Each structure stands twice: as structure tokens, then as C-alpha cells.
Amino acid sequence: MAITPQDASTRAREICQLAPIVPVLVVHDVAHARPLAEALVAGGLPALEVTLRTPAALDVVAEMAKVKGGVVGAGTLITPEDVTRAVAAGAQFGVSPGATDTLLDAAEAAGLPMLPGAATASEAMRLLDRGYDMLKFFPAEASGGAPALKAIGAPLPQISFCPTGGVSPDNADSYLSLPNVVCAGGSWVAPAKLVEAGDWDAIRDLARAASQLPR
């Protein structure tokens, strides 16, 4: 069922409000999918972004979608084909590094709520003009970090963001304290070494700490 940009943003905002951090996950082995998702959800981070950067990514989305309490999305959506494959795998939302009309047309037609990326005021205004007011600020640190996002928020208070890209435990507070930030995307809650080692308890503990960040 098709979705309007306004409804897509409303749903994306609801997902972003679930926790202060959305884990950004690069998973190479589908066997890690369910225990990783279970650890993150148990730690208080239910919204999960699986990036489509590995051959296993779509299978990972499908496995994580079975985890109770999780809301699984597909990241790095760039083409309409990405949208089709993400929806077929069970993704409940999509994330893109930027935005094109072709991509957003496909997502809206497929009924997939999107978190489209913007790095400048002009990009954010263009998305707002289409009806999107919940955006990804990417690449966050490379685009000026929290000061830049604060500056964008002054003339565009009606737009909210999920900054992603270079967000870490050291700077997450600077983003989450901004009035135009709902959550932030971060990869530190699922470091590759812990995933490869299957240390789900350690990942759960990282997730729990991230879930308690103030915003």
C-alpha cells in the first residue's frame, strides 16, 4: 500500500523516538543476525538499521525481522531496486545517505517509510517541500557536526534529524541535546570484533548504556 511523504515521516519519527540511538549494522554472516538483534533489543535499542553493504544484508534483514520487539530497517537504499529488495526481505523502514525523486517515488509506492539523508539547508528544504520533516543528517561529523546541525535548526525548526556518520559515545550528547535531534545513528554498539566473537552479552551492555543517553 502506498504511503504519503507526510505519513512516511510520521512513521519514521515514531521509530526514531523508540531510543536515543539507532544501531547502524554491517553484518557479514547471517548466522549473527538473530542473536545480534536480540542483544540490541534486550539492551533497549529496538530500532535497527541494517546497511545493504554485504552480500548477506538482505538475509540479515529477514532474520532480524523475526526478533520480537525489534523494528528492522534497511540502510544505504539508493535505487528503486534497493527498495523492492528491502521490502521483500521484511524491512519496516528505509534509510538513505541522500535523496532522489526516483528513490522516494519508489519508497512511497511500496509503502516504505523513509529516513532520507540531507547535509545542507537546501537539501533539507527540498525534502520538506516534498513533505518529509524527519531526516537523516549525513555525514554528520564531516558536515560540521553538532554546531552545523544546530545552525540548520535555527531557520528550519520544523525539521527533525537523526545525525549519522562519526557519531560516537564521545560526541553523542552534543547531538542529542539539540532540539532538532530525535535520535542518532551509531555503529559503536555492535563493534565487529564483538560480533565476530559472538559476545552478545557485551553488545547488550553497550546497547543498554546507549539506551540511557539523555535527549
Q: Is 150 a residue of the active site?
A: no
Look-up of cell digits 531557520? 155
Closest CA to 46 of 178, 183, 194: 183
pLDDT (mean) for 22-36: 98
pLDDT digits (tens, 9 = 90+) for 86-143: 999 999 999 999 999 999 999 999 999 999 999 999 999 999 999 999 999 999 999 9
Supply the mean pLDDT for the chain.
98
pLDDT digits (tens, 9 = 90+) for 172-188: 999 999 999 999 999 99
151-166 as b/e: b if 16+ CB within 10 A:
ebbeebeebbbbbbbe
- Kindly name the residue from 38, 49, 63, 108 that is annotated as catalytic: 49
Q: Is 81 a residue of the active site?
A: no
Residue 38 has a pLDDT of 98
Cα angle for residues 44, 140, 175 (degrees, 5° grid): 55
CB 152 within 8 A of CB 171: no
pLDDT digits (tens, 9 = 90+) for 51-85: 999 999 999 999 999 999 999 999 999 999 999 99
Q: Is the pLDDT of residue 157 over 90?
A: yes
**Domain total of the chain:** 1
| Residue 99 φ/ψ region, left for φ over 0, alpha for ψ in the -120 to 50 degree band, beta for the rest | beta
- Kindly name the residue from 38, 63, 108, 136 that is annotated as catalytic: 136
Rounded Cα distance, 4 and 8, in Å = 6
Of the pLDDT bands very low, low, confident and very high (cuts 50, 70, 90), residue 1 is confident
Q: In what side-by-side order are the strands of the sheet with 47-51?
A: 114-115, 93-95, 71-75, 47-51, 21-25, 184-186
Residue 4 has a pLDDT of 98
Q: In what side-by-side order are the strands of the sheet with 160-163?
A: 117-118, 134-137, 160-163
Q: Which three cell numbers stand for residue 40?
A: 540490541
Closest CA to 142 of 115, 160, 165, 171: 165
Task: Name the pTM for this structure.
Answer: 0.97
Q: Which domain holds residue 130?
A: 5-211
Helices 57-64 and 80-89, axial angle in degrees (round to 10)? 40
Q: Which three cell numbers stand for residue 209?
A: 548504556
Rounded Cα distance, 53 and 26, in Å = 7
Q: Which CATH number do you get for residue 129? A: 3.20.20.70
